[in-house]
Chains A and B, each alone.
Chain A
Amino acid sequence: MISLSKALLVLLLLGALSFSSCTYVGGSREKLEPKIGRDSTEKGSLVFGYIDMKDAQPDLEWILLNRVEVGKEATSYPLRVKDGIFFLENLPQGSYFLSEFGGRATNFFSAGALIVFRPYFYRVGVDAKEHRFKIESPGVYYLGTWKFKVVKGGFFERDKFDLDSAKEPGQKALVVSLLEVAKGTPWESKLRNYQKSLK
């Protein structure tokens, strides 16, 4: 027969364990709501694309674009993300590049906790010319469908990554998904017009 005091002790230990069992490590990035804001205007441009993260540790949770201009500090734009689709409305004209993307992976029995939510930051940067684009006039811009690929490093070298151009999901499928998150916003009609322009 277990005494009341022993049962209380076990309960206390379980309680303490549950409090310390989940840990977030290493920071994160700003995450926007995964739908186009109802108060958004038609000004600027809407950009979208897709990253297949099946071969990555985390799912896609954040993605950053940098806008660069001669003589000025770079401006960072966090994009909206939903199921691998990234998008953002009302971007101003200018020169951009994909700066970084990432997400959190769930690790078990790591860093002294039962569950650890560990962030992964994949930095792309200005040198990757295939991930640069310019917005010269307002409109809808497709930034491509990409598949994350691990590039094995050497014995003493960390693994790297690459983004391979992929066909699926293509623009048409992505626009259908975007229409869902653009319902009731000024961007809905623009997206429908863009959809019609796709062959």
Chain B
Amino acid sequence: MNTPRNIMLRLPGLWLLPLLLVGCTSTLEPVTKIGDLAPGEIMVVGRIELVPRLQPEEQQVSFLGDTDSIKNKVFVGVDRKFVLIDGENTDITSVESVIRATFGETFHVKKDREALHIPYVMFYSKYTVAGRLVTQHRVFFPARLQVDFQPGDRAVYIGTFRYHRNEYFDITKSELIDDFAKEEAAYRKKFGSKVPLVKRLPRPLDRKGNSVKAG
């Protein structure tokens, strides 16, 4: 009944720290120009879509602070190693980093060249603070993916993750869409052609972290 996704906390001053929403993990920095990329860093390009789209009325966000950090935002967990996040374990504080993306918009973030695991994709359908009472409800989407970088990669496209949902925010279907041609054109317009964008679609993993064989 009190599932880990439906949490109420009584903590002093938590409204001051919206970053705690995704635990003590670091947020991958956005890239706005190629010069933002340091040697040894890779730009990760992708997009998360929700079908039907999330409407503002469906998300309850209320606290003293930057509510735009939650509204229409989706959080993509990123780690160098495999971490199992599922219905029984939703402790996302064990995941190293997070991409804070906007639903339906392409993100461009930078990370190191280590392996890229995606243990979870999640958003807050509710995050309210009244006094010292924090009420949150998180919706987790199917993920458990791994992206394999190749030597020489500087900018990689990992695909569009399209999640279909119902009125309860149950995910009824999830798709990995290859929009490379469109995204590559937009990338070149924004960042130029000095650093080419390459396609590295993720592969799904099982609960033990092994590749799921097709078919």
Contact = CB atoms under 8 A, between A and B. Distances in A.
B1 A162 contact: yes
Interface residues of B, number: 18
Contact of A160 (B1, B58, B165, B167): B1
Interface in B52-105: 52-53, 55, 57-58
A161 interface: yes
A136 to B, nearest CB: 13
B52 A70 contact: yes
B5 interface: yes
A160 to B, nearest CB: 4
A190 interface: no
Nearest to B52: A70
Contacts, number: 50
A12 interface: no
Interface residues of A, number: 22
B163 to A, nearest CB: 13
Interface in B18-39: none
| Main SS at interface, chain B | loop
A163 B58 contact: no
Given A71-B58, A73-B58, A126 B1 contact: no
B1 A128 contact: yes
- Interface hub of A68, A127, A151, A161 (most chain B Cβ within 10 A): A127
A108 to B, nearest CB: 24
Contacts of A68: 167-168
A125 interface: yes
Interface of A: 68-74, 95, 97, 122-128, 132, 151, 160-163
